[in-house]
Amino acid sequence: MDNLVFINSNNLQEEPYTTSKIISEYGGQQHKNVRELIQTYIKKMKKLGKVSTFETHKPKSPKGGRPEKIYKLNEPQATFLITLMKNTERVVNFKFELVKQFYVMREELLKRRIERSNGIRERNALTDAIKNLPDSKYSKVYKHRLYINITRLIYKILFNKTVTQLKKQFSVPEKGNLRDYIPKTELAKTKALENQAATLINARLSYQKIKEALISIHSITV
């Protein structure tokens, strides 16, 4: 069966959802009937989370195409809604697949959040290494620039892109944290490089030496 559950972006804080259109299509219901069912129980729906909608245009016809309102439903809302549907064989198969996909999506998000949490600790290792540089020799301005430069270097090594380019690639909002949007596999690689950088900082190497070492280890040209 096709994808029934979605997430808007790589943001770890996003909540998986399905739509009234998906429920109507795969549950063998008229979309207007599904929308009417949601409206009938809208107060209960709102107790399970924010009820949001978006519009999509129907294919043009000789009579024109009016926008169609589609509901976005989180897992509790969708689960409640499908319990109101009669259990034909088609509906039972759809319910099973929908519940399964919500579970799989939730598990994947949980893994990524754990990875992100671990990444924060690794990030702390990098920031702690910089903070532990003696103030008598390294100014606050130098430490701040070192942090920025190493962060930029790590993203350049891994993605060959700037922070700005990566935010655009992963659709990070203006005030969003890039690391919340980096896929799990790339986030693990980011942590590894930060650990290596922290080790080199603790060895009191200059930024230039750190840069040369990391580039050499990963055999790239920056």
174 in helix, strand or coil? coil
27 in helix, strand or coil? coil
Mean pLDDT for the stretch of residues 168-187: 81
60 in helix, strand or coil? coil
Does the residue 152 lie in any domain?
Answer: yes
Which range marks the domain in which residue 164 is found? 132-218
Does the residue 118 lie in any domain?
Answer: no
Cβ neighbours of 194 (radius 10 Å):
21
pLDDT of 221 higher than 60: no
- Total structural domains in the chain? 2
Burial class (CB in 10 A: 0-12, 13-18, 19+), 135: exposed
Cβ–Cβ under 8 Å, residues 161 and 149: no
Does the residue 124 lie in any domain?
Answer: no
Q: Report the C-alpha gap between 41 and 53 in whole angstroms.
A: 15
Which pLDDT score, from 0 to 100, does residue 187 have?
79
User: Do residues 146 and 206 both lie within one domain?
Assistant: yes
Does the residue 186 lie in any domain?
Answer: yes
Q: In whole angstroms, how far apart are CA 102 and each of 28, 93, 174?
A: 20, 14, 29
pTM score, whole prediction: 0.54
User: Do residues 100 and 136 both lie within one domain?
Assistant: no
| Residues above pLDDT 70, as percent of the chain | 86
